[in-house]
Structure 1
Amino acid sequence: MAPWNGLWGGRAAIAGGNAYRDMPVIVKMENPNWSISEINGGGDNGEDFLARVGGQRRRVKNTKQITWVFRLKAHRAAGCLARLTSAAVALGGTARRRVVAGRTDSDAADGECEDVEERDPASRRSRFYTLIKACLMMSVFLLVVELAAYSNGRVNLAIFINSFNTSWIRFRATYVAPPLQLLADACVVLFLVQSADRLFQSLGCFYILVKRIKPKPLSPALADAEDPDAGYYPMVLVQIPMCNEKEVYRQSIAAVCNLDWPRSNFLVQVLDDSDDVATQALIKEEVEKWRHSGAHIVYRHCVLREGYKAGNLKSAMSCSYVKDYEYVAIFDADFQPYPDFLKRTVPHFKDNEDLGLVQARWSFVNKDENLLTRLQNINLCFHFEVEQQVNGVFINFFGFNGTAGVWRIKAVEDSGGWMERTTVEDMDIAVRAHLKGWKFVFLNDVECQCELPESYEAYRKQQHRWHSGPMQLFRLCLPDIIRCKIVFWKKANLIFLFFLLRKLILPFYSFTLFCIILPMTMFVPEAELPDWVVCYIPVLMSFLNIVPLHRNHSRLSSHTCSSRTPCQLPSSMP
């Protein structure tokens, strides 16, 4: 460091002598890491001056340096927190992907994910989920133990819990119970209305069973299909709309091509709406095989895909050759009709010019697969055995199920054809046909095989499609219902029973009452539900839902013992 000269005047230094001249004075701070000052000077008061100046500079430097130290520490802490947050987010994303995929790093590294999932996907995911749940429960338990140990001796838990409970009871009785009781009363009223509707429908089904009411064709029995001139074999167009149906397209095409009907009197339209080129090639190849075997079948694919199923059917009905056909039968890709399906449905149209639709019921090949399929079977058996049959017998109207039905083409055209305005195109065309005066017939003894969704995800998607469109359709059809010329009681049935009660109130109240309000009343005793709402009426409704299932089982048993058995669908061409 350069020598320090003349800080407090040269004269004083000369008068005072040369005692401090050229003598280095070193002042060290308390913290040696901060600074060292070398001072060359003289004077009698040099030591006092150095002590005073050093103290001032030390205080200034101490304040600034402490500030910068704290800023540096805060910067490091922020960086560490950011890194921890990023790592936690990445770890959470990885854990979520593993939970969804049900795999580990070793499977992904070895490229064996697909093989492992094919071998035992359910057990692997079950074990993985069990491990995650166990770790979560252990973490919560340890957290409770730590909180209890931390508060031991500091907080009187008994007094705290008692005070919290008293406050919660007061808040619950004042603010929670009144609105909950009001909502519960409203749901109870809706529950009673819906229960009365189901009770009357069940009584109507019982009346049909006792009186043995059964729709019968006005024409005599059909003659042999090998001689079309000897009987009533009108021209029938059979449509199979499908979209990316890799698993079931062979079975559905085979079932339709094996229908017991003169080959020259029906044409099969395979309406492929797939966006997968490989699937399109497979379906087209299957159609070509059946065409070479003598079946009247055509493959149709729309380049401009719009309107989903309704758009697909609308495009197919615009073909020029459709005018040569009188009826159209529709089967979804996962439906497999029996060979005598047309023989048991088409004769109902003869000499019955007001009949627009003949609907068959569904039967399920996988109804005993798991608990979900069993519950669906119970629900759908009530739908077909009670709802569809009663409405078909007494008012000649019900919702078209979208498949396993035969339409008079004139009724479809008179109703305005297929429309893409809603996701429930089947219900839409049924309502419009009913407003035009067309009648419907439901055949409870004619079945068409299909499959039920076996997973909750597939079931959820199906129910979303079925329940997302009726209210939109009601909004669109309400002006037409009011202006149409049908009798008043049919208008009331459409508005209050068909739409409001069964399409809006039923899904709303059933979930709200039994999944939200009923569990909440267990924790809010001020809001009460009558015992007959919680126990007696649900037991009666459950009994009414199960009875059609057992009747259907007995009918199926006698039906299976008869000569008519389900067709054995080949996996390839005959």
Structure 2
Amino acid sequence: MAPNFAFVHWWGKENRRGNSVVLKMENPNFSMVELQIPEDDNFQVGKGKGKNVKQFSWALFLKAHKAAGFVAWLAIGIWTVLAAIRKRLIQDTDDRDKFSHRSKLYRIIKGFLVFSVLMLGLEMVAYSQGWHFTRPSLHFPSSMGIENLHLPSSEGIEGLVHSIYMAWVYTRANYLARPLQYMTNICIILFLIQSIDRLLLCLGYLWIKLKKIKPVPKYELEAGTDLEQGNNGAYPMVLIQIPMCNEKEVYQQSIAAVCNLDWPKERMLVQVLDDSDDMEVQKLIAAQVQKWKRMGVPIVYRHRIVRTGYKAGNLKSAMECDYVKDYEFVAIFDADFQPNPDFLKKTIPHFKGNDELALVQARWAFVNKDENLLTRFQNINLAFHFEVEQQVNGMFINFFGFNGTAGVWRIKALEESGGWLERTTVEDMDIAVRAHLNGWKFIFLNDVQCLCELPESYEAYKKQQHRWHSGPMQLFRLCLPDIVRSKIGFWKKTNLIVLFFLLRKLILPFYSFSLFCIILPITMFLPETQMPNWVVCYLPSFMSFLTILPSLGSAAFAVPFLMFENTMSVTKFNAMVSGLFQLGSAYEWVVTKKLGRSSESDLLALVEETDPHLEQGKHHRGVSDSDLQLLNNLNVHQLQQLPKKKRNRKYKKELALAFLLLTASARSFMTSQGIHFYFLLFQGFSFLAVGLDLIGEQL
């Protein structure tokens, strides 16, 4: 079959004069066809035979003007990109990602980048000599003999270039293409399995929506009724914990929201668990606790001198207090969470009459989901996690991973499951797995939401994702023997090992990074390896739209979300490997940076609190111009108090992958592979934007 000369045809289709030579390749023989085109100077170009020289000159002038404009536009675009790159690369070394330049993964990516650049140069030299390889003209050999290679004659290439190129083609066809194809097929199979899992979750989600299924408590909460002891007591005793560490921006709003919970004060106790090592922050938090204590709220301030175990150690220390034995339930809220006043009244009733229930988990809602492109992507991802993954698993198998906050635990279940352990960075998932192995059940309430804040900078989001993806692999190594020996049913063990850990925590980041960030660009330089279009474009697009299903308002971001998720795969893959093999960064714990964003109602409350001269009832949400002006003034005041924006960082792994993908896209363009070219091009620019820290606070 003749190769595709679309690129050559496009390059020279405007003006073909003189002797044109077309190389016709028909395996295994080659023939040269010479086409004669008139070279007479009087030969007229155009449809009309009456065009004179002046008209022809004007036509050429217009074409030249259009070409000059295109070249100028292209030059400006390239210059802008290069200027942005140069601006990032000349920054001080203090802004470098300390893990990027020292990690083995970065060295591996850099090796692939050097290889791709060398191969692109070699292919361009061969292409300039008239070699135009496409997939139809290259066939994988049936044996290891070179006689099975279908190669053009070497008459057009001489000397060293000929020898190098022929050796490269022989090596890739006989030694490289087959292993790469095997690896590609394995990743495609994993991709299909994970896609089926996601499709089944979405079908379960649609069934829940269609049938309007949701958990309903057996008994409604009434004043003066004890859910656990009958009609003679009061509300059950609830312990509320707020763990925090150096979170100056959010401590006020979280403590205020918890202290305003609609629950009898004599039946609750708030523990502010401060692990801050900043003396100023400690004093501010202690003063806030004293303020609410004077207002009659039962609240205590606890500070650890020895901060071992991070959040798990903090919670473990708080549960060892003597007075904890007087409480039946414990509600946990991170420092940036703001529960609604009726939070306990909507969650505690589910425990009545359900003695096997250990956890009631509420959904997160975000006050800054539309702040920038990064928060929009996070909202899409987390909306799928809550509404699809956790709601479906909670409804059909009564198990999901505890989110670490916005949940209520039965203290008896915590104690029987071993309490908080400091062995991993995902103490919430750890306690959830151990409780599940002991036979306890979980409930997820999608209609009970708790306001919180998304990280707005890529730096904060990357560190959060590293902890979220390294911790499960640490836990899997530790829990696997316990899962195998546990008394739960075979199908629950299979779900826990295969789906919960392997498929969603290990396989997903593995194939996502390997297939789309490494294998796909390398196949552009080994055309004997096949990567179907449906794997590159159609199936990922379908999966992206399934992910957006719970947040249809973000459908316009489907394609950018797909590109960004592939970009994040390098961080998730690196975290997964470090957690699985217990590398140095696996136990790194960095508190996610927060800016103290508040909802409009919170801002109005803060306006009334900070201005005592305002009349009661003057402010109503979203109805008064004066209210909007006050909100605007308060926002300006808060922005003035925020720390100055730091200079952009640069992430070397992402930049190396960006250049690898762009190099592969150039090779794909030479062989006219449309879908592969566009995917590699856009994915390369996505990595470039992330590597230069352009996404997040600035976009």
TM-score, scaled to structure 1: 0.68
Q: Specify the alignment match of 1:219 in structure 2.
A: 219
Note if contact 1:236-1:329 (Cα within 8 Å) is conserved in structure 2. Answer: yes
Distance 1:506 1:357, change over 3 A: same
Distance in 2 (alpha carbons) for counterparts of 1:405 and 1:524: 51
Distance 2:169 2:341 in 1: 67
Letter of the 2:606 counterpart: P
- Equivalent residue in structure 2 for 1:238, among 240, 249, 260: 240
Q: Which amino acid aligns with 1:280?
A: Q
Structure 2 partner of 1:318: 320
**8 Å contact 1:338–1:566 — kept in the other structure?**
no
Q: Are positions 1:179 and 2:173 aligned together? A: no
Mean Cα displacement is larger for which, 402-411 or 258-267?
A: 258-267
User: Quick one: structure 1 residues 536 and 262, their matched pair in 2 at CA, closer, same or farther if it must change by over 3 Å?
Assistant: same
| Alpha-carbon distance in structure 2 between the residues aligned to 1:224 and 1:450 | 32
Paired letter, 1:473: L
Instruction: From the superposition, tell whether residues 397 and 277 of structure 1 become closer, same or farther in structure 2 (CA, over 3 Å).
Output: same
Supply the distance in 2 between the matched residues of 1:376 and 1:160 (Cα, whole angstroms): 52
Alignment partners' CA distance in 1, 2:463 and 2:357 = 33
**Cross-structure match for 1:401:** 403
Deviation sequence 1:187-217 (CA, Å, 0-9, x none): 1111011011101111111111111110011
Q: Matched residues in 1 for 2:443 and 2:248: separation?
A: 33
Residue deviations 1:330-363 (CA, integer Å, cap 9, x gap): 0111111111111111111111111100001111
Structure 2's unaligned 5+ residue stretches are 1-88, 97-120, 126-155, 556-598, 613-699
Distance 1:162 1:180, change over 3 A: same
Counterpart contact for 1:238–1:268, Cα < 8 Å:
yes
Within the candidate set 82, 87, 98, 2:92 is matched to 98
Rounded to whole Å, the distance in 2 between the matches of 1:527 and 1:171 is 13
Q: Offset at 1:230?
A: 9.5
| RMSD between superposed Cα atoms in Å | 3.0
Letter in 1 for 2:235: Y
Deviation at 1:374, TM superposition (A): 1.1
Cα distance, 1:233 vs structure 2 = 2.3
Give the SS at the match of 2:443: strand
Opposite residue 176 of structure 2, the aligned amino acid is: V
Match of 1:208 in 2: 208
Q: How far 1:158 moved relative to its partner? A: 8.6
Deviates more, 1:397-406 or 1:451-460: 451-460
| SS of residue in 2 equivalent to 1:429 | helix
CA shift, 1:376, in A, is 1.1
Letter in 1 for 2:237: M
Match of 2:419 among 417, 420, 425: 417
Compared with structure 1, are the counterparts of its residues 101 and 510 closer, same or farther at alpha carbon in structure 2 (3 Å cutoff)? closer
Partner residue, 1:427 = 429
Residue by residue, what CA displacement relative to the aligned partner does 1:137-174 show, whole Å, maximum 9, x if unpaired? Answer: xxxxxxx9xxx9xxxxxxx9997656544443333323
Amino acid at match of 1:405: G
SS across alignment from 2:548: helix
Q: Deviations over 1:299-338 (max 9, x none)?
A: 0011221111000000000001111111100011111111
- The answer to whether the 8 Å contact 1:222/1:232 transfers is no
1:530 matched to 2:532:
yes
Contact 1:335–1:450 (Cα < 8 Å) also in 2: yes
Change (3 A) 1:480 1:260: same
- Partner Cα distance (1:295, 1:253) in 2: 11
Q: How far apart, CA to CA, are the structure 1 residues paired with 2:414 and 2:319? A: 10
Taking structure 2 as the reference length, the TM-score comes to 0.57
DSSP-derived class of the 1:491 partner? helix
Q: Distance in 2 between matches of 1:353 and 1:500?
A: 31
Aligned residues of 1:215 and 1:441 also touching (Cα < 8 A): yes
Kindly provide the CA deviation profile for residues 488-522 of structure 1, in whole angstroms up to 9, marking residues without a partner as x: 11111111111111111111111111222122222
For the residue of structure 2 that corresponds to 1:271, the secondary structure is strand
Helix, strand or coil for the counterpart of 2:347? helix
Partner residue of 1:110? none
1:281 to 1:366, Cα distance in 2 relative to 1, 3 A: same
Q: Which residue of 2 aligns with 1:189?
A: 189
Instruction: State how far apart, in whole Å, the 2-side matches of 1:240 and 1:542 are.
Output: 35
- Within 1, Cα distance between the matches of 2:290 and 2:426? 32
**Which residue in 2 is equivalent to 1:25?**
none
CA distance in 2, matches of 1:157, 1:377: 55
In the other structure, the counterpart of 1:503 is: 505
User: In 2 relative to 1, CA 434–101 (structure 1 residues): closer, same or farther, beyond 3 Å?
Assistant: closer
Q: Quick one: which amino acid aligns to residue 216 of structure 1?
A: V
Is the 8 Å Cα contact of residues 381 and 552 (structure 1) preserved in structure 2? no
Shift of 1:266: 1.2
User: Match of 2:330, SS?
Assistant: strand
Q: Partner letter of residue 548 of structure 1?
A: P
Indicate which of 483, 499, 513 corresponds to 2:515. Answer: 513
RCO higher in structure (CA 8 A, sep ≥6): 2
Alignment of 1:46-61 (within 5 A): none
Residue from 366, 369, 386 that aligns with 1:367? 369
Q: Contact conserved, 1:287 with 1:297, CA < 8 A, in 2?
A: yes
Q: Among residues 317, 338, 345, which one is paired with 2:347 in the alignment? A: 345
The residue type equivalent to 1:210 in the other structure is L
Deviations 1:550-574 (A, max 9, x none): 2899xxxxxxxxxx99655537689
Per the alignment, do residues 437 and 171 of structure 1 end up closer, same or farther by CA in structure 2, a change over 3 Å counting?
A: same
Taking a change above 3 Å as real, the CA distance of residues 368 and 389 of structure 1, as seen in their structure-2 partners, is same
Contact 2:224-2:231 within 8 A present in 1 as well: no
Instruction: Give the CA deviation at 1:232.
Output: 6.3
- Structure 1 residue 179: Cα displacement: 2.2
The 1-side partners of 2:177 and 2:361 are apart by: 48
Equivalent residues in 2 for 1:37-48 (5 A)? none
Letter matched to residue 321 of structure 1: Y
Q: SS at the partner of 2:450?
A: strand
Q: Find the counterpart in structure 2 of residue 546 from structure 1.
A: 548
Aligned counterpart, 1:379: 381
Which residue does the alignment assign to 2:283? 281
| Post-superposition offset of 1:224 | 8.7
The secondary structure found in structure 2 opposite 1:442 is strand
Aligned residue type for 1:347 = P
Structure 1 residue ranges without an equivalent (≥5)? 1-94, 103-143, 149-155, 554-563
Q: Is the 8 A contact 1:224 1:231 kept in 2?
A: yes
Pairs aligned (count): 419
How is 1:439-458 mapped onto 2 (pairs within 5 angstroms)? 439-458=441-460
SS in 2 for 1:437: coil
State the Cα distance separating 1:185 from its structure 2 match.
0.9
Residue type of the alignment partner of 1:319: C
- Cα deviation for residue 478 of structure 1 reads 1.5
Q: What is the distance in 2 between the residues matched to 1:189 and 1:419?
A: 37
Instruction: Name the CA shift for 1:495/1:98 in 2 (closer, same or farther; >3 Å).
Output: closer
Q: Report deviation, 1:451.
A: 1.2
Between the aligned partners of 1:158 and 1:207, the Cα distance in structure 2 is 67
Matches within 5 A, 1:142-153: none
